[in-house]
Amino acid sequence: MPTPDTVVSIQKNVRKYIFEHFEEHAIAPVLEQIMQKFGLDRASAFNVLVELQSARHIALLPGTQRILMAFPFSSIVTPFRVRIAGNDRDYFANCAWDAVAIHVALGKEQWIISYCHHCAEDIKIHLREQRLVAQGSHSHPLIYLALPAAKWWENIVLTCSNNMVFFSSKDHLAEWMRTGSVTGGEALTIDQTLRLSVPIYKEKMSLDYARPSREQNIAHFQSLGLTGDFWKI
């Protein structure tokens, strides 16, 4: 039976392998690749994925042994496409926030190609050195978070798929909210989202990455002026 230290080491290395595989291939590795890479049987390899999901590093496609998300990367096509400088692959993010977070995680110049959630107009955003370089024809695209922070992990697939999206302007967000049943939520600028992402995503590719604690996240939210009930976790 492996020791606790061995189990932790395998989990760390598998997590890093998953993220490096995404960076190199823009898709997740399959379970069989993890089995081969680390000399694990199927049950042991899948157990590692379950533990990584419990630790909120990845999300599995429900009812399967397949990786759906390795935050910020998506294994499936989404409206949040990312192109990295010097790389001809298209990456897909799980949500608008994750599209920005890929830049923080990889530390490379990138372009986001997405759509306004209200009218489907193209949104193009250029990021370099954790700064916004250009926003296409839009002067103020926004990232809208519909669900309060305490609800994000109740169903992370639903949260990312439907509740963290781009709007081309404040006016388009306001128009969309008037025509639907959604109320509340928070709208962030691209610069705010970059700053919000740093402690969560900056060391994602390192072997010893650890998610910030609840207390660290709360302190970070407060340092950015993100207070009030919406940001309580």
Is residue 118 domain-shared with residue 210, that is, in the same domain?
A: yes
Residue 72: cis peptide before it, omega within 30 degrees of 0: yes
| Structural domain that includes position 172 | 81-231
Is residue 56 domain-shared with residue 120, that is, in the same domain?
A: no
Count of CB atoms situated within 10 Å of the CB of 85: 11
Domain membership flag for residue 74:
no
Domain membership flag for residue 85:
yes
pLDDT of the residue at 136? 58
pLDDT of the residue at 8? 86
Is residue 90 domain-shared with residue 190, that is, in the same domain?
A: yes
Domain membership flag for residue 75:
no
Alpha helices in the chain (DSSP H): 4-25, 31-38, 42-54, 96-106, 156-162, 170-179, 190-201, 214-223
Q: What predicted TM-score, i.e. pTM, was given to this entire model?
A: 0.94
- pLDDT tens digits, the chain, 233 residues: what are they? 567 668 789 999 999 999 999 999 999 999 999 999 999 999 999 999 999 999 999 999 999 999 999 999 999 999 999 999 988 899 999 999 999 999 999 999 999 999 999 999 999 999 999 999 976 555 689 999 999 999 999 999 999 998 999 999 999 999 999 887 677 899 999 999 999 999 999 999 999 999 999 999 999 999 999 999 999 99
pLDDT of the residue at 181? 63
For the chain, what is the domain count? 2
pLDDT of the residue at 198? 97
Listed residues 18, 34, 68: the one ending a domain: 68
Query: What CATH number is associated with residue 141?
Result: 3.30.450.410
Instruction: Residue 101: name the closest of 82, 119, 88, 120 by CA.
Output: 82
Is residue 54 domain-shared with residue 148, that is, in the same domain?
A: no
